Amino acid sequence: MTDIILFNRCGVKRNTVPSVQRDCFRGQNSPMPAPYLTAAFYLFVTLPDFEARRAPLLALCEQHQVKGLILLAHEGINSTIAGAADDVRAVLAYLRADPLLSCLQHKESWSDKPPFHRMKVRLKKEIVTMNRPGISPTHRAGTYVKPADWNALIANPDVVVVDTRNDYEVEIGSFAHAINPKLKTFAELPAWLDANPQLAGTSPSNKKPKVAMFCTGGIRCEKSTAYLRAQGFEEVFHLEGGILKYLETVPAEQSLWQGECFVFDERVSVGHGLVPGPHALCRACRQPLEEGASESALFEAGVSCPRCHGITSEAQKSGARERQRQWERAKTRQVQQEDL
């Protein structure tokens, strides 16, 4: 078996492992079953001028009527945007024209309805918040494992499999036998990793175990595996392209995934083939509604659900009611215009 040298997205040498190859690709164009293209992408790369990038990028998105969210930070870019296919691809082409972003990858999916209603470009300290200075995936991270090789890795009883997502995401789906750290936010993960006995060395040499980590699209695993590498873990792996790439490429009959995958847009959840799932969203806490939640006395559309009713003030609920009324009026006007 020939060893293959891995490179990160823009050519920096990474780990060398057998039978795993890191390709620098730009996202394959999937068929067009619906009018709205969603593109999800991120890249850890030093952007010293990230603040100056905000205004022209926002202007371009608005010119093309592309909606969604782009995060910019010194450590890189993280985004999900949606719109007409040509417009979304125009934004991607603009980004890749920059030498620093020339190897930007994206994942595509399609929907019948607009996944987003507004366009925001925000400046952040981190594109995924860990609050651990010095952790940089561009310098050190885990080994990528392609979706086709993932099942064999996590079926190994010597591998500790960790779901790095928040608890409400894990609630609706995860890989069989994966550990759920029950996180409220990703920033809680380092403390959990430090305290978890399953990650302590158990052999006479106190060698740390093999660890496989996964998340929605891959970005959180870039940082979580970088953190473990910084703590002395040598055999750390993460799912290339995240759960979404796995669900897109691995046939359902071969899959070890159970349930649905939560996504941060109007689709709420997706299953195999990235087909939108059955879940609805609480527009107050932006989390999936639990089964039977809409029948609860604590549920009010756009205002609260049983999960968040007790943690929001009356002032917050009042503001949410007004936003809901405005949204309903706008929706009614849109329907009336379409009927003309």
215 belongs to the catalytic site: yes
pLDDT digits (tens, 9 = 90+) for 167-186: 999 999 999 999 999 999 99
pLDDT at 95 over 50: yes
pTM score, two decimals? 0.74
β-sheet bridge partners, residue 81: 39, 68
Of 21-35, 200-214, 231-245, 282-296, the poorest mean pLDDT is in 21-35
Provide the percentage of residues in the chain whose pLDDT is more than 90: 54
Q: Which of 215, 221, 305, 308 is catalytic?
A: 215
- What whole-number distance in Å separates Cα of residue 181 and Cα of residue 184? 9
| pLDDT (0 to 100) of residue 27 | 46
Contact 279, 260 (CB under 8 A): yes
Q: How many CA atoms, within 13 angstroms, populate the side-chain half-sphere of residue 87?
A: 18
Structure tokens at 82: 């949606």
Q: In one letter, which amino acid is 170?
A: V
Instruction: Give the pLDDT band (50/70/90) at residue 226.
Output: very high
Alpha helices in 216-277 (DSSP H): 219-230, 242-249
317 by Cβ neighbours in 10 Å (0-12 / 13-18 / 19+) ranks as middle
